[in-house]
C-alpha cells in the first residue's frame, strides 16, 4: 500500500454535530492528476481504493485498454474513512451517515483543487455516495453513474443491515457470520443452484454450499476489521439524498450531470424495479438520464462478475474520441 496518498480534513463536523479530524486516503491510476479527464470511483462495502492493477477489485473494468481506459483517464479513488484499508477505523460509527462521506469526498476534491470530474462511478454503497455527492454539488461531475445502487436505503435494505448489525454485535465470530449471511443477499437461489447442484463434500460430510459460505466468512474475517464492517454496514442503511432537502424529483432534477443508471435484473439488495421507477419518474423532468440493465442469475454481485455486460453499458460514456476530452481540474 505504498501508493496510498493522504489528506487531512480538520475539524469536520459530522451528522451528530461532533467535530473531528478525518484522515482521507486515496489512490491514483492512469494519467497523472490534472493531465487528463478525472474519473472518481467510489468503492462498495468491503472494497477500497485499490480499483485497478494486479490486485484491483475492478481491474476488469479499469485499466489500460479497458472500458475506463487508464491510458486516457486519470482514475481517482478515495477510501471511505473507517474502512480500515489505510489502518484508520472509526469506533463511533453511528456519528456518521452516507452524506458525511459524500461531504468528505467533496472536501478531498477541494483540497486537490479538482472543480469538475468527468465521471463519478460507484458500485453498491459507492453508488449511493455518488448520488449524495451530486445532490450536494449538482455541478461536480459531467457523468453520474450509480451501479447496482439506489439514491435511498429502502426498508428492505435497512432490514438486512439491521440483521447484519445483530451478527456484528452479538456473534462470537462476528465478521465471519455476518459475511455468511450477506452472501445470501449478494447472490440468488438460482446462482446457488447453478453453481452447487446440491453437491456434497464427502470428506467434510457437508454440502458444498455450506463450505463455500464458511470460506467467504473466513476470507473476510482475515482481511476486514470488525470496526470497519460496523461502519460500512451502518453507512449502507443511511443513504438518502432527499433528507431535509425536499422531494426526489426536486433534488435529482437539479443535478446537472448526465445520469446513467445501471441495475441488475436479479439484484435482491437493490431491486431493479426501484431503479426503473427512478428512471421513469426522473425522465419526466430531466432529459439526460439513461438506464441499462445487466441480465444475470448472480444477483447483486453481478456488478463484480458480469464485466462484459457492464463494459458494454458503460462504453457510450467512456469510449469517446480522445480529442474531444478536456482536462477537468
Q: Is residue 210, in this structure, part of any structural domain at all?
A: yes
- Give residue for cell 457470520: 177
**Are residue 82 and residue 141 in the same domain, yes or no?**
yes
What's the mean pLDDT in 168-189? 97
Mean pLDDT, rounded, of the chain = 95
- Looking at the predicted structure, is the pLDDT value of residue 328 above 70? no
**Are residue 20 and residue 38 in the same domain, yes or no?**
yes
> Domain boundary at 235, 262, 284, which?
235
pLDDT of residue 246: 86
pLDDT tens-digit readout, 45-93:
999 999 999 999 999 999 999 999 999 999 999 999 999 999 999 999 9
> Domain boundary at 235, 264, 299, which?
235
What's the mean pLDDT in 237-253? 94
Q: Is residue 329, in this structure, part of any structural domain at all?
A: no
- Looking at the predicted structure, is the pLDDT value of residue 209 above 90? yes
Q: Is residue 56, in this structure, part of any structural domain at all?
A: yes
pLDDT of residue 204: 85
pLDDT of residue 321: 53
**Are residue 35 and residue 162 in the same domain, yes or no?**
no
- pTM of the entire predicted model: 0.95
What's the mean pLDDT in 305-316? 97
Q: How many domains does the chain have?
A: 2
For residue 102, give its domain range: 5-153+239-324
- Looking at the predicted structure, is the pLDDT value of residue 327 above 60? no
- Give residue for cell 473531528: 20
Residue 26's nearest CA partner among 47, 49, 58, 1 is 49
**Are residue 210 and residue 262 in the same domain, yes or no?**
no
What's the mean pLDDT in 223-249? 96
pLDDT of residue 19: 95
**Are residue 131 and residue 19 in the same domain, yes or no?**
yes
> Domain boundary at 217, 235, 253, which?
235
Using alpha carbons, list the distances in angstroms from residue 29 to 55, 73, 81, 241.
13, 8, 20, 29
**Are residue 54 and residue 130 in the same domain, yes or no?**
yes
Q: Is residue 271, in this structure, part of any structural domain at all?
A: yes
pLDDT tens-digit readout, 267-298:
999 999 999 999 999 999 999 999 999 999 99
**Are residue 100 and residue 131 in the same domain, yes or no?**
yes
pLDDT of residue 244: 85
What's the mean pLDDT in 189-213? 95
Tell me the CATH number at 190.
Answer: 1.10.1740.110
Q: Is residue 109, in this structure, part of any structural domain at all?
A: yes
Indicate the pLDDT class of residue 245, thresholds 50, 70 and 90.
confident
**Are residue 130 and residue 278 in the same domain, yes or no?**
yes
Q: How far apart are CA 55 and CA 199, in angstroms?
A: 31
Provide the percentage of residues in the chain whose pLDDT is more than 90: 93
Sign of CA dihedral 123, 125, 129, 132: positive
- Looking at the predicted structure, is the pLDDT value of residue 220 above 70? yes
What's the mean pLDDT in 154-178? 98
Q: Please, what is the Cα angle at 101 between 279 and 83, to 5 degrees? A: 110
Indicate the pLDDT class of residue 323, thresholds 50, 70 and 90.
very low
Q: What are phi and psi of 7, to 5 degrees?
A: -125, 155
pLDDT of residue 306: 98
**Are residue 67 and residue 91 in the same domain, yes or no?**
yes
pLDDT of residue 203: 86
Q: Is residue 198, in this structure, part of any structural domain at all?
A: yes
**Are residue 183 and residue 197 in the same domain, yes or no?**
yes
Q: What are phi and psi of 215, to 5 degrees?
A: -60, -50
Indicate the pLDDT class of residue 159, thresholds 50, 70 and 90.
very high
275 near 150, Cβ under 8 Å?
yes
For 149, the grid coordinates are 445502487
Indicate the pLDDT class of residue 322, thresholds 50, 70 and 90.
very low
**Are residue 243 and residue 141 in the same domain, yes or no?**
yes
**Are residue 149 and residue 162 in the same domain, yes or no?**
no
pLDDT of residue 106: 98
- Looking at the predicted structure, is the pLDDT value of residue 37 above 50? yes
Using alpha carbons, list the distances in angstroms from residue 270 to 56, 142, 150, 243.
24, 24, 7, 19
Tell me the CATH number at 125.
Answer: 3.40.50.1820
Angle in degrees, 0-180, between the axes of helices 174-186 and 155-170, rounded to the nearest 10: 160
Amino acid at each position: 500500500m505504498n501508493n496510498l496518498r493522504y489528506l487531512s480534513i480538520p475539524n469536520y463536523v459530522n451528522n451528530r454535530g461532533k467535530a473531528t479530524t478525518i484522515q482521507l486516503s486515496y489512490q491514483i491510476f492512469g494519467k497523472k492528476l490534472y493531465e487528463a479527464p478525472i474519473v472518481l470511483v467510489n468503492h462498495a462495502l468491503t472494497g477500497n481504493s485499490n480499483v485497478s492493477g494486479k490486485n484491483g477489485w475492478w481491474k476488469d473494468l479499469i485499466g489500460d485498454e479497458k472500458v475506463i481506459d487508464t491510458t486516457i483517464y486519470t482514475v481517482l479513488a478515495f477510501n471511505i474513512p473507517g474502512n480500515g484499508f489505510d489502518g484508520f477505523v472509526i469506533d463511533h460509527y453511528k456519528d456518521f451517515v452516507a452524506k458525511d462521506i459524500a461531504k468528505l469526498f467533496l472536501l478531498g476534491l477541494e483540497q486537490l483543487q479538482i472543480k469538475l470530474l468527468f465521471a463519478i462511478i460507484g458500485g453498491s454503497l459507492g453508488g449511493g455516495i455518488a448520488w449524495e455527492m451530486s445532490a450536494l454539488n449538482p455541478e461536480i461531475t459531467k457523468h453520474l453513474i450509480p451501479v447496482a445502487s439506489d439514491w435511498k436505503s429502502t426498508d428492505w435494505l435497512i432490514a438486512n443491515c439491521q440483521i447484519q448489525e445483530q451478527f456484528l454485535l452479538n456473534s462470537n465470530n462476528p465478521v465471519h457470520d455476518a459475511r455468511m449471511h450477506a452472501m445470501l443477499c449478494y447472490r440468488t437461489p438460482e446462482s446457488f443452484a447453478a453453481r452447487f447442484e446440491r453437491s456434497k463434500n464427502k470428506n467434510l460430510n457437508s454440502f458444498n454450499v455450506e463450505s463455500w459460505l464458511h470460506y467467504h466468512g473466513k476470507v473476510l474475517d482475515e482481511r476486514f476489521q470488525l470496526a470497519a464492517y460496523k461502519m460500512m454496514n451502518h453507512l449502507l442503511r443511511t443513504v438518502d439524498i432527499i433528507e431535509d432537502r425536499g422531494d426526489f424529483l426536486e433534488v435529482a432534477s437539479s443535478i446537472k450531470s448526465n445520469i446513467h443508471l445501471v441495475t441488475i435484473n436479479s439484484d435482491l439488495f437493490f431491486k431493479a424495479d426501484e431503479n426503473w421507477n427512478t428512471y421513469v419518474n426522473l425522465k419526466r423532468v430531466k432529459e439526460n438520464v439513461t438506464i441499462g440493465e445487466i441480465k444475470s442469475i448472480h444477483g447483486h454481485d453481478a456488478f463484480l462478475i458480469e464485466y462484459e455486460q457492464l463494459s458494454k453499458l458503460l462504453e457510450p460514456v467512456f469510449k469517446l474520441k480522445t480529442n474531444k476530452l478536456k482536462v477537468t481540474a
